[in-house]
Chain A
Amino acid sequence: MAKLDAKIPQGPLAEKWTNYKAHQNLVNPSNKRRLDIIVVGTGLAGASAAASFGEMGFNVKVFGIHDSPRRAHSIAAQGGINAAKNYPNDGDSVYRLFYDTIKGGDYRAREANVYRLAEVSNNIIDQCVAQGVPFAREYGGLLDNRSFGGAQVSRTFYARGQTGQQLLLGAYSALSKEIKKGSVKMFTRREMLELVVIEGRARGIIVRNLITGEIERHSAHAVVLATGGYGNVFFLSTNAMASNGSAAWKVYKKGAFFGNPAFTQIHPTCIPVHGDYQSKLTLMSESLRNDGRIWVPMYKEDAEKIQKGQLKPTDIPEDRRDYYLERRYPAFGNLVPRDVASRAAKERCDAGFGVGSTGLAVYLDFEDAIKRLGKHVIEARYGNLFQMYEKIVDENPYETPMMIYPAVHYTMGGIWVDYELQTTIPGLFAAGEANFSDHGANRLGASALMQGLSDGYFVLPYTIQNYLADQIRVPRFDTNLPEFEQAEKEAKERIEKLLSIKGTDTVDTFHRRLGLIMWDHVGMGRNRKGLEEGIKKIQELRKEFWKNVRVPGKNEMVNMELEKALRLADYLELGELMARDALLREESCGGHFREEHQTEEGEALRDDENFTYVSAWEYTGDDKEPKLNKEPLVFEFIEVKQRNYK
Chain B
Amino acid sequence: MDLTLKIWRQASASEKGKFVEYQVQNISTDASFLEMLDVLNEELVRKDEDPVAFDHDCREGICGACSLYINGRPHGPDKGITTCQMHMRRFKDGETIVIEPWRAKPFPVIKDLMVDRTAFDEIIQAGGYVSINTGGVPDANAIPIPKRDADTAMDAAACIGCGACVAACKNASAMLFVSAKVSQFAMLPQGKVEARERVLNMVAKMDELGFGNCTNTYACEAECPKEISVSHIARMNREYLSAKLVSQKE
Residues of A participating in the B interface, judged by any CB pair closer than 8 Å: 48, 51-52, 55, 66-71, 73, 75-76, 85, 87, 123, 125-143, 159-160, 162, 164-166, 169, 172-174, 176-177, 179-180, 186, 188, 211, 240-242, 274-275, 277-280, 282-283, 387-388, 391-392, 394, 457-458, 461, 504, 506, 508-509, 550, 552-553, 557-558, 560-561
CB <8 Å contact, A240 and B126: no
* Set of chain B residues within 8 Å of A173, measured between Cβ atoms: 124, 128-130
* Set of chain B residues within 8 Å of A504, measured between Cβ atoms: 46
Nearest residue (CB) in A for B37 is A279
* Set of chain A residues within 8 Å of B116, measured between Cβ atoms: 67
Q: Tell whether A174 pairs with B125 under 8 Å between CB atoms, given A66-B57, A274-B30.
A: no
Complex CA–CA separation, A70 to B56 (angstroms)? 13
Across the interface, B154 reaches (CB within 8 A) one of A134, A211, A274, namely A134
CB neighbors of A among B44-97 (8 A): 45-46, 48-51, 53, 55-65, 80-81, 85-87, 89
CB <8 Å contact, B160 and A176: no
* Set of chain A residues within 8 Å of B128, measured between Cβ atoms: 173, 176
Complex CA–CA separation, A73 to B27 (angstroms)? 28
B173 at the interface (CB under 8 A from A): no
Complex CA–CA separation, A366 to B60 (angstroms)? 22
B215 at the interface (CB under 8 A from A): no
* Set of chain B residues within 8 Å of A176, measured between Cβ atoms: 121, 124-125, 128-129
Ordered nearest first, which 6 A-B pairs have the shortest CB separation?
A: A141-B144, A173-B129, A130-B137, A134-B154, A134-B153, A129-B140
Nearest residue (CB) in B for A392 is B87
CB <8 Å contact, B121 and A68: yes
Q: What is the minimal beta-carbon distance from A190 to any residue of chain B, in angstroms?
A: 13
* Set of chain A residues within 8 Å of B56, measured between Cβ atoms: 241
Q: What is the minimal beta-carbon distance from A213 to any residue of chain B, in angstroms?
A: 12
Q: What is the minimal beta-carbon distance from A182 to any residue of chain B, in angstroms?
A: 11
Q: What is the minimal beta-carbon distance from B203 to any residue of chain A, in angstroms?
A: 16
CB <8 Å contact, B129 and A242: no
Complex CA–CA separation, A283 to B62 (angstroms)? 12
* Set of chain A residues within 8 Å of B191, measured between Cβ atoms: 132
CB <8 Å contact, A279 and B32: yes
Q: Tell whether A169 pairs with B157 under 8 Å between CB atoms, given A66-B65, A130-B138, A277-B38.
A: yes
CB <8 Å contact, A132 and B124: no
Complex CA–CA separation, A172 to B87 (angstroms)? 31
CB <8 Å contact, B55 and A67: yes
B contact face: mostly helix, strand, loop, or mixed = loop
B204 at the interface (CB under 8 A from A): no
CB <8 Å contact, B89 and A394: yes
Q: Tell whether A279 pairs with B35 under 8 Å between CB atoms, given A76-B58, A159-B154, A458-B134.
A: yes
Please name 6 further chain A to chain B contacts, defined as beta carbons within 8 Å, in addition to the given A67-B116, A137-B150, sorted by A numbering.
A85-B141, A131-B130, A132-B190, A160-B158, A550-B45, A557-B111
* Set of chain A residues within 8 Å of B110, measured between Cβ atoms: 211, 558
B20 at the interface (CB under 8 A from A): no
CB <8 Å contact, B28 and A277: yes
CB <8 Å contact, B57 and A165: no
B222 at the interface (CB under 8 A from A): no
CB <8 Å contact, A73 and B131: no
Residues of B participating in the A interface, judged by any CB pair closer than 8 Å: 12, 27-28, 30-32, 34-35, 38-39, 42, 45-46, 48-51, 53, 55-65, 80-81, 85-87, 89, 110-111, 114, 116-118, 120-121, 124-126, 128-135, 137-141, 144-147, 150-151, 153-154, 157-158, 160-161, 184-185, 187-188, 190-191
CB <8 Å contact, B118 and A139: no
CB <8 Å contact, B139 and A506: no
* Set of chain A residues within 8 Å of B135, measured between Cβ atoms: 123, 127, 457-458
Q: What is the minimal beta-carbon distance from A137 to any residue of chain B, in angstroms?
A: 4
Complex CA–CA separation, A126 to B141 (angstroms)? 8
* Set of chain B residues within 8 Å of A131, measured between Cβ atoms: 129-130, 132, 190
CB <8 Å contact, B190 and A129: yes
* Set of chain B residues within 8 Å of A132, measured between Cβ atoms: 129-130, 153, 184-185, 188, 190-191
Complex CA–CA separation, A277 to B88 (angstroms)? 12
Across the interface, A177 reaches (CB within 8 A) one of B118, B131, B140, namely B131
Complex CA–CA separation, A173 to B185 (angstroms)? 12
CB <8 Å contact, A55 and B133: yes
CB <8 Å contact, A552 and B138: no
Complex CA–CA separation, A394 to B38 (angstroms)? 21
Q: What is the minimal beta-carbon distance from A4 to any residue of chain B, in angstroms?
A: 30
* Set of chain B residues within 8 Å of A242, measured between Cβ atoms: 57
* Set of chain B residues within 8 Å of A391, measured between Cβ atoms: 81, 85-87
* Set of chain B residues within 8 Å of A552, measured between Cβ atoms: 45, 48-51
Complex CA–CA separation, A388 to B120 (angstroms)? 26
CB <8 Å contact, A71 and B124: no
* Set of chain A residues within 8 Å of B65, measured between Cβ atoms: 66-67, 71
Q: What is the minimal beta-carbon distance from A178 to any residue of chain B, in angstroms?
A: 9
Q: What is the minimal beta-carbon distance from B167 to any residue of chain A, in angstroms?
A: 15
CB <8 Å contact, A240 and B59: yes
Nearest residue (CB) in A for B36 is A277
Q: What is the minimal beta-carbon distance from B136 to any residue of chain A, in angstroms?
A: 9
CB <8 Å contact, A68 and B134: no
Nearest residue (CB) in B for A275 is B28
CB <8 Å contact, A76 and B134: no
* Set of chain B residues within 8 Å of A162, measured between Cβ atoms: 62, 158
* Set of chain B residues within 8 Å of A457, measured between Cβ atoms: 134-135
27 contacts between A and B (CB under 8 A): A48-B134, A67-B118, A75-B58, A75-B62, A126-B138, A128-B140, A130-B137, A132-B129, A133-B157, A134-B150, A136-B150, A137-B146, A137-B147, A141-B144, A240-B63, A241-B58, A275-B30, A279-B32, A279-B35, A279-B59, A283-B60, A394-B30, A461-B134, A508-B38, A509-B42, A558-B111, A561-B51
Q: Tell whether A165 pairs with B137 under 8 Å between CB atoms, given A136-B150, A177-B131.
A: no
Across the interface, A550 reaches (CB within 8 A) one of B46, B59, B130, namely B46
CB <8 Å contact, B144 and A165: no
